[in-house]
Amino acid sequence: MSSRPTPSRCITLLAGIAFLLGVACVTRAPASDVAEIVLQGGWGSQPEQLGLTMPAPGMLPEVPFQGPGGFRVDAQGGVWISDSVNRAVKVFREGKVEIFPIPATGLGDLDLCGEAFYVCTRSPDGIFVGRQDDGGEIRRIALACRSPGRLQVVDENRILLADGDGGLWWIRNGEPGRHPAEVMEPVGTAEHVFGIVYDLDESSRSIVRSGWTEQESEPGMFALLKFPKERIAFSRLLGLQDGNPWVMMVMASNPGQYRVFRLDGDGKVVREARLPVLTGAWLPAWWVAGPCPVVYGFRSDPQGFSILRQSLD
């Protein structure tokens, strides 16, 4: 007489079936979709406000340089926002605001690395590098990118910048260039740069990675995510935590929610979470990675903006 399968055996069988089908097998239940508001503000020219140019009354801008350019949250909880209209980087910390004026006609995304902050600029085109303590200029990196997107600073010698017109800029030891593979994204470590390949199958995506040298620039397969009976409407790399990428996707069956997957060093899914799809003024990224397992979001409407904090644990 055969015995009834135990729960652990059922889980093992399901995991095996998922592996054979090429489906990501998740080891944890999805995280809560409740986010904490850590900062709120309005539009304007006052120190605690962000500038916004509305193309029409009550309409938020859908192009760069007419609103916030990007945001990050540092290890102490300080919120850094590039205020393109007011031409400054603003730091909101413990009820106070620090303002670092930036000599440029427009500001894009920004990132923090070591004791410096990096912000994309328009006229002059490139990246401004400043000191986090007083905003003083350290250096400028000239870059012929008229439509900068997401920015990631791996270290002072490795910088990645998405081009809004397509492709990826990589800056190695101060020398800018175009990554040979158009599918790469500004998500990387000191060893690898990651990207996403849109497969012919609408239910799957290939995660690829390359090295930092010309000889290692050809992307190789890192992970394959498949979702039978689903159609992937949107996919992007959220960022890195502990050196491993998070992949975010929107399924056509649920357009108001991101499904977010964390991969380990072998390209296997080790966690899945949910995030709401945020709306508002144009940004290169509405969700950015914080210290693992926290992410931060930027939500806005014609009345003002909010910075959200959510755990993916």
Distant-in-sequence, close-in-space partners of 213: CB < 8 Å, separation ≥ 6: none
Per-residue pLDDT tens digits for 261-307? 999 999 999 999 999 999 999 999 999 999 889 999 999 999 999 99
Q: Compute the chain's Rg from CA coordinates.
A: 20
Tokens at residue 161, please? 């910048």
pLDDT higher than 80, residue 34: no
With 90 as the cut, is the pLDDT of residue 253 above it? yes
**What is the share, in percent, of the chain residues with pLDDT greater than 90?**
85
Confidence category of residue 33, pLDDT binned at 50, 70, 90: low
In order, the DSSP letters of the chain are -PPPPPHHHHHHHHHHHHHHHTB---SSPPPP---EEEEEEEBSSSTTSB----SBTTB---STTSSEEEEEE-TTSPEEEEETTTTEEEEEETTEEEEEE-SSSEEEEEEEETTEEEEEEETTTEEEEEETTT--EEEEEE---SSEEEEEEEETTEEEEEETTSSEEEEETTEEEE-S-TTEEEEE-SS-EEEEEE-SSTTEEEEEEE-SSGGG-S-EEEEEEE-TT--EEEEEEEEEETTEEEEEEEETT-TTEEEEEEE-TTS-EEEEEEEEPP-SS--S-SEEE-STTEEEEEEEETTEEEEEEEE--
Given this model, what pLDDT does residue 23 score? 40
The pLDDT value recorded for residue 297 is 98
Q: What number is the average pLDDT over the span 178-203?
A: 95
> Is the pLDDT at 27 greater than 80, yes or no?
no
The pLDDT score that the predictor gives to residue 313 is: 85
Q: What is the mean pLDDT of the chain?
A: 90
Q: Is pLDDT above 60 for 3?
A: no
Name the residue with tokens 């945020």: 278
Average pLDDT over residues 37-55: 97
The yes-or-no verdict on residue 234 having pLDDT over 60 is yes
pLDDT at 75 over 70: yes
Looking at the chain, the whole-number percentage of residues with pLDDT higher than 70 is 89
Mean pLDDT in residue range 154-176: 96
Give me the domains of the chain, ranges plus CATH numbers. Answer: 19-311 (2.120.10.30)
Closest CA to 22 of 203, 188, 185: 203
The answer to whether the CB of 222 falls within 8 A of the CB of 211 is no
CA distance 211 to 213: 6
pLDDT tens track for 96-144: 999 999 999 999 999 999 999 999 999 999 999 999 999 999 999 999 9
